[in-house]
Structure 1
Amino acid sequence: MKKTVILFVVTSFFVACKPTVQEADLTKLNGYWEIQKVEMKEGEDKDYKVNPTVDYIEIKNNAGFRQKVMPQLDGSFRTNNLQETITLKNQDGTWNIYYKTPYGSWSEELIELTDSILVVKNQADLEYHYKKFKPFSKK
């Protein structure tokens, strides 16, 4: 019984210490993000070793856009100028990203956001893990 209580306390501590995204963190979304992996709800991961495109996100006052760009060897980016409109909303302490295009709309839950890590979960319980993109450097 004593071991069960200790296990419960330790587990509760780690669950309670799960970092939550704060409104002040939302500016960290700005910039270029490269997908690393997708965690499937069955527990499998799909890793992305090489990415021909990265996501560029620009947010101001909880609204902005996301668009796919293709990094070039000279440090520039190519794009087709198609953008997804983004709105950020806090619902019961959880930040959600709402996307809209002329073709549809969807949302993702913002799970983790730091200077170098972005994790979002979609409605199909797929978790998308991104890292800040580092542009190619000229040598």
Structure 2
Amino acid sequence: MRYLYSFLALTMLFVTFGCSQSINSGDIKEINGYWEIVKAKLPNEEEKDYTINSSIDFFQIEENGVGFRQKVMPQFNGEYLTNDIQEDLTVEFTNEGTFLHYKTEFAEWKEEIVKINKEQLVVKNENDIMYYYKRPVPFSLK
């Protein structure tokens, strides 16, 4: 019986902590570049798929954790158009997680980085909505 309780305790710890990625400062460089939203997952588990995106996000974060995010629109020649509006951002590491703090002249908000690697970015906003991103596949009619 003692082994059963130990097994259950370890299983609960794994489920609680094993599914989340620990983000460190070296992971932040993976955010740089272009990201296309794939889906949003609401707190009630409902999902919204984004099958066609007219704009994608471009991130540029320096080693000091300061940077920006900008919406860009892919063109048929493989280039991107932009309206030159950038959202300033800073990266914050806390005991609760790693956060992207955004600021424009109109608003401030934050998102928690849930997962980051070369091909996938997952963030959670202050309303507990999870956004899943992938690297976009460039297209061209050249």
TM-score scaled to structure 1, two decimals? Answer: 0.92
Q: Distance in 1 between matches of 2:90 and 2:108?
A: 11
SS for the counterpart of 2:84 is: coil
Cα-to-partner distance string for 1:55-89 (whole Å, 9 max, x where unaligned): 00000020110000000111100111100001001
RMSD over equivalenced CA pairs, Å? 1.7
- Give the aligned partner of residue 41 of structure 1: 43
Cα shift at 1:15: 2.9
Q: Distance in 2 between matches of 1:126 and 1:102?
A: 24
Structure 2 counterparts to residues 118-137 of structure 1, below 5 A: 118-137=121-140
Q: 1:4 to 1:47 in 2, by over 3 A?
A: farther
Q: 1:97 aligns with which of 95, 100, 122?
A: 100
For structure 2, which runs of at least 5 residues remain unmatched after alignment?
none
Cα shift at 1:103: 0.7
- Give the aligned partner of residue 112 of structure 1: 115
TM-score scaled to structure 2, two decimals? Answer: 0.90
Q: Distance in 2 between matches of 1:16 and 1:41?
A: 19
- Give the aligned partner of residue 23 of structure 1: 25
- Give the aligned partner of residue 84 of structure 1: 87
Q: Distance in 1 between matches of 2:16 and 2:43?
A: 19
Cα shift at 1:91: 1.2
For structure 1, which runs of at least 5 residues remain unmatched after alignment?
none
SS for the counterpart of 1:83 is: strand
